[in-house]
Amino acid sequence: MTILLNGESFQTDGPLSVSRLLDGLDIDPRRVAVEHNRTVLKKAAYGITVVREGDEVEVVNFVGGG
C-alpha cells in the first residue's frame, strides 16, 4: 500500500500501526512526534492507530541543544 510519509510517497506491505511503522523505519518513538492525517498523536496511541492506504503521516524529530 502507499502512504504519504513526510510529504513523500512511501510503500508498506499493508495496514500497520504507527508503532510498527516507526520500528520499521528504525525510529525511536520516544524522540519523535507523529501526526496522522493532520492529527497529532499521543504516544499512547501509537500502538492502536492504524495507518492505511492513502493516509498521511508526518514524523518530527526532537533536536536538543543549548
Residue 66 lies inside a defined structural domain of this protein: no
Please report the pLDDT score of residue 66 as a whole number.
Answer: 63
Q: What is the pLDDT of residues 17-60, one digit of tens each?
A: 999 999 999 999 999 999 999 999 999 999 999 999 999 999 99
Residues of the domain holding 23: 2-61
Q: What is the CATH number of the domain that holds 35?
A: 3.10.20.30
- Alpha carbon distance 27, 31 (integer Å): 8
- pLDDT band of residue 62 (cuts 50, 70, 90) is confident
- Alpha carbon distance 34, 9 (integer Å): 17
Mean pLDDT along residues 5-21: 97
Calculate the alpha carbon distances from 51 to 2, 4, 59, 63 in Å. Answer: 10, 10, 13, 25
Please report the pLDDT score of residue 63 as a whole number.
Answer: 74
Does this model's pTM top 0.85? My answer is: yes
- Alpha carbon distance 24, 10 (integer Å): 12
What are the start-end ranges of the H helices in the chain? 18-24
Q: How many domains does the chain have?
A: 1
